[in-house]
Chain A
Amino acid sequence: MKKIEAIIKPFKVDDVKEALNEIGIEGMTVSEVKGYGRQKGHKEIYRGAEYVVDFVPKVKIEVALRADRAEEAVRIIREAAKTDNIGDGKIFVSNLERVVRIRTGEIDEDAL
């Protein structure tokens, strides 16, 4: 099992969600996050004063899925989240050790 964490531009959330739904991935966790990567935040100037946005607002989407579906999901997310502009985000994929569905107690792939 794999866990995919995608950090994307806020306005791309619906596109990514729909794209994942289309390939049958329906469960996900979405959160509003802030951070920076190579984009390193940015600054705006107003009346001589600098307003530095050091942590840029992004959305994090987390998906847990079977290992054999991870490649496809990563591709789909990338296609949907791409704008070709700066700060499109990143996708992290990691191994998932254990999953438990709280209500039923089902484990691992049954719980996905």
Chain B
Amino acid sequence: MKIKTLASELSEKKEKLSEVFLNSGEESFNKNLSELYDEYFVKSLEYILENSTLFTNPFALVALGGYGRQEQAPHSDIDLLFLFENSPQEDEAEKIVRQILYPLWDYKFTIGYSTRTISTCIKEAKSDLFNFTSMLDSRFICGCSSLYFKFAEKFRAYISKSPKKFIEKIILQSEKRHNEYGNSEYLLEPDIKNGMGGLRDYHTIRWIGKINFNLNELKDFQYQGYLSESEYPEFIESLEFITRVRNHLHFLTKRNSDKLHFDHQLKIASRLGVIGKDGKTPVESFLGELHLRMNFLKEIVLMIQNEIGRPKKLGIKRVYKKLTKVEGLEIKNNLLGFKNSKAIIKDPSLLIEIFKVSGLKKVPLNSESKRLVHDFGYLVDDQFRKNQKNIRAFEKTLTIPYTENHPLDSMLNTGMLSYMISEFKEITNRIEYNDYHIYSVGRHSIRAVQSVQRLISDKEGLKNSDLYSSVYSEIRPKRVFLWAVFLHDIGKGQKGEDHSISGARTAKKILKRFGIKKEYIDTISFLIENHLYLVKTATRRDIFDEETIIACAVKTKTAIQLKMLYLLTLADSMATGPKAWTEWNESLVTSLFLKTLRVLENGSLSAPNAIYHLEKKAGEITSSLKKITENAEDIVAGMPPTYIFELSNSDILVHSQLYIKLLKSDRLFVMEVEKNKDSGLRRVFFCAKDRPGFFSNAAGVFTINNMDILDSRAFGWKNSIALSIFTVTAPLDTVYESEIWDKTRQDLEKALENEIDLKSAVKSRKQGFFKKNIFNSKDYVKIDNDSSSFYSIIEVHTKDYPGLLFELTNLLFRFGIDIKNAKIGTKVLQVVDVFYVSSIKEGGKLSKEKCEKLRIEILKELSKIREEDYEEN
């Protein structure tokens, strides 16, 4: 019964200790808790020994693992070893265990225990690395002390047989763990224990220290020269912070959990009493600090691993000792360093050069050189920044593919990036609290740069990597693009304003400081300001609507800017996290990119400065229109760019006036005839409510009124209005010309209402034509389904005759085809007609089968017309 009381006391004491921790965040909680457990074991063993004489087999109670290190976490198992001198009899161990542990179980403590002799201990350590490391942390609690020290001695002897081998195993295991827990999911919701920079990393170097120099206390890392005087306190602070977070996590979840889920993050931030500042919410500040601490721990671990573990490991792989030609740098034990600090003072460029060399040679910096960069950072001034050699060295680091010791990461960790670009400090540890961004803004910027290399590498297994690398190969200059990727989120340092806009402004300031050409600065700031444009457009606009694509082309202006923006968009989302980088998003953005690129490279907008002229022209038309209507802006906004681009200002004004007239009337169309007395030609303008067949009917009406069509253009405005211009021969009788035009208008009205049979009327007009024109050439019809993203393009080459345009367009109408844009040209009886068409019923381009059927049908129609003509004559 006595032991039961002890257990209940322990439970109460733990409760009190926990309360103190939760109220004041007391730092020695874990040590105090370990001591409470010690006290229980000491007292309960005393009690057992006092009340029994049965034990002839000496034994000791030994704390292992975290309990051994006196770092017991609130809900972690109590890791206990019952060490016996001789193999215990069957019920001997059982009896002791039962008396000591059962009361603890009753009070819901969780205990992991084993009963072993010294030789079974060594055997277990041999077979299992986990047992080995937990014994590395062993600590005597009570019982036969000489037995424990005999064990410690044997264990030490076992280690000293091949310490290097153990260290290698431990490092290998830690690398494996990093691979497993280092993926992005754990960055969003970090694992405090197993994640990168988690407590396990600290345990790892502690074990290495134990093996290598029999570490006794943490300060030994400093005494042994692994940590500098300034690093040691930061190391301890980081450990304490992470431990505190883990304690809270245990209390919060009431169990042994290490993963910091989203809802825990909010609660722990408030339990820690973190206050938000500089525009960050409390939880963002908290996560910022946690990332900083964990990253520091990770750096320390990598450093110590590199120093202690690396040479041997690489020795096995037989890597040649690499050399560097750069004066003032040297490679030793496969680590890069400065020859001495004087070299830096003599040539400050080494401060950036060392990162370039590290990246190109794939050799990490040694810890001493990282310290030196940190200490000599003050040498980076505006003169340093304007030095072309330094700029080039930095730009080189932007092209290094992702590796574990990437120079940009090292530059961030040593503070070099902030020395080069003071604005970078603002975003280095800025966390955005959502399930979307997995890195701090600073780290994300670096990942984005590295993602560019991942996109174009064929090793990543990305579906479209050949597209990406083809686009990348056409980007010039690459360094301009990479600056934009690197600085795209620099605006997140400021609060309030849209970060794209403030980022573009900040980037301008930074780049000026580096003395970058104005032309390049403009491109970079354009890219930064619009780095979300493609994603937004692809997901929020209809990319199957030509307007969207044209607007995108107008915005991005040139093919080269579009290509840069495209890769920036992909690199940005890839570096943001798995929720941003999905095939779903990628496929939308890529479609938008390819469609827009085609407009910029092949369409009428591909001419040099096309976009500039387009905007200028639209402005001119708007101001002319303002003199006659209030709705000038709306009317111009309704005109598609190709229309504005291809017609003259005066033609567009005629159309606009017709449009205003049409809106006021209830007619189906309005028309205007422009007379040119000298040439005997007439230009006829139409503005009509868009209906399939209008173009065809108009063509037919000209024919029956004895006017030949020499040229014509048709366009659709955005608000279902069809505009067209026909150039026709003047009517035969020019004296009563206005009467003829009145008749033409009435004929068209009747034709649209199906009141006259245009088909036979046209037929009678062309009779005898071919008889007179025996000179014949081959017909040629081509249907292009690839050049436009929205329309099938039909090209017809044939011999002209009266009514041809009517017959052709009528055939298209019968096929259920809508003509969006037509270009009719005649050269001495040879006709080239181009139609941009879409399917009326299904929308979009014609199917492949329909294209072929239509092609054959057009050819048939062309020869049929001729045959009929021959027969009848």
| Residue pair A46, B842 in contact (C-beta under 8 Å) | no
Give the contacting residue for B844; candidates A32, A47, A55, A85; CB below 8 A.
A85
Give the contacting residue for B591; candidates A32, A53, A83, A84; CB below 8 A.
A53
- A-B contacts counted at CB < 8 A amount to 62
Give the contacting residue for B843; candidates A47, A57, A84; CB below 8 A.
A84
Does B594 touch A at the CB level, under 8 Å?
Answer: yes
> Which among A21-29, A37-45, A103-111 touches the partner chain?
A37-45
Distance in Å: Cβ of A60 to nearest Cβ of chain B: 12
Distance in Å: Cβ of A31 to nearest Cβ of chain B: 10
Q: In the assembled complex, which residues on chain B have CB atoms less than 8 Å from the CB atom of A42?
A: 591
Does B631 touch A at the CB level, under 8 Å?
Answer: no
Contact residue range for chain B?
Answer: 20 to 34
How far is B542's CA from A39's CA once the two chains are assembled, in angstroms?
Answer: 15
Does A102 touch B at the CB level, under 8 Å?
Answer: no
| Residue pair B542, A51 in contact (C-beta under 8 Å) | no
| Residue pair B467, A46 in contact (C-beta under 8 Å) | yes
Give the contacting residue for B584; candidates A34, A45, A85; CB below 8 A.
A34
Does B722 touch A at the CB level, under 8 Å?
Answer: no
How far is B591's CA from A53's CA once the two chains are assembled, in angstroms?
Answer: 8
Does B243 touch A at the CB level, under 8 Å?
Answer: no
Does B464 touch A at the CB level, under 8 Å?
Answer: yes
Minimum CB distance partner of B542 in chain A? A83
| Residue pair B545, A51 in contact (C-beta under 8 Å) | no
How far is B470's CA from A101's CA once the two chains are assembled, in angstroms?
Answer: 52
How far is B583's CA from A111's CA once the two chains are assembled, in angstroms?
Answer: 35
| Residue pair A57, B587 in contact (C-beta under 8 Å) | yes
| Residue pair A51, B594 in contact (C-beta under 8 Å) | yes
Does A9 touch B at the CB level, under 8 Å?
Answer: yes
Give the contacting residue for B542; candidates A9, A38, A47, A56; CB below 8 A.
A9
Known: A38-B842, A84-B843, A85-B844. A46 touches B470 (CB 8 A): yes
| Residue pair A11, B467 in contact (C-beta under 8 Å) | no
Of B544, B585, B591, most buried by chain A (CB within 10 Å of CB) is B544
Distance in Å: Cβ of A47 to nearest Cβ of chain B: 6
| Residue pair B466, A11 in contact (C-beta under 8 Å) | no
Known: A85-B844, A86-B843, A86-B844. A10 touches B467 (CB 8 A): no
| Residue pair A11, B544 in contact (C-beta under 8 Å) | no
Known: A49-B466, A86-B842. A44 touches B588 (CB 8 A): no
How far is B842's CA from A38's CA once the two chains are assembled, in angstroms?
Answer: 9
How far is B539's CA from A84's CA once the two chains are assembled, in angstroms?
Answer: 18
Give the contacting residue for B467; candidates A9, A32, A38, A51; CB below 8 A.
A51
Does B349 touch A at the CB level, under 8 Å?
Answer: no
Does B656 touch A at the CB level, under 8 Å?
Answer: no
How far is B844's CA from A51's CA once the two chains are assembled, in angstroms?
Answer: 18
Q: Which of B463-509 contact A (CB under 8 A)?
A: 464, 466-467, 470-471
Q: In the assembled complex, which residues on chain B have CB atoms less than 8 Å from the CB atom of A38?
A: 842
Q: In the assembled complex, which residues on chain B have CB atoms less than 8 Å from the CB atom of A87?
A: 544, 844
Bits for B533-569, please: 1 = Cβ < 8 Å to A, else 0. Answer: 0000001111011000000000000000000000000
Q: Which of B571-623 contact A (CB under 8 A)?
A: 582-585, 587-588, 590-591, 594-595, 597-598
Q: Which residues of B contact A (CB under 8 A)?
A: 464, 466-467, 470-471, 539-542, 544-545, 582-585, 587-588, 590-591, 594-595, 597-598, 786, 789, 842-844
Q: Which residues of A contact B (CB under 8 A)?
A: 9-11, 32, 34, 38-39, 42, 44-47, 49, 51, 53, 55-57, 83-87
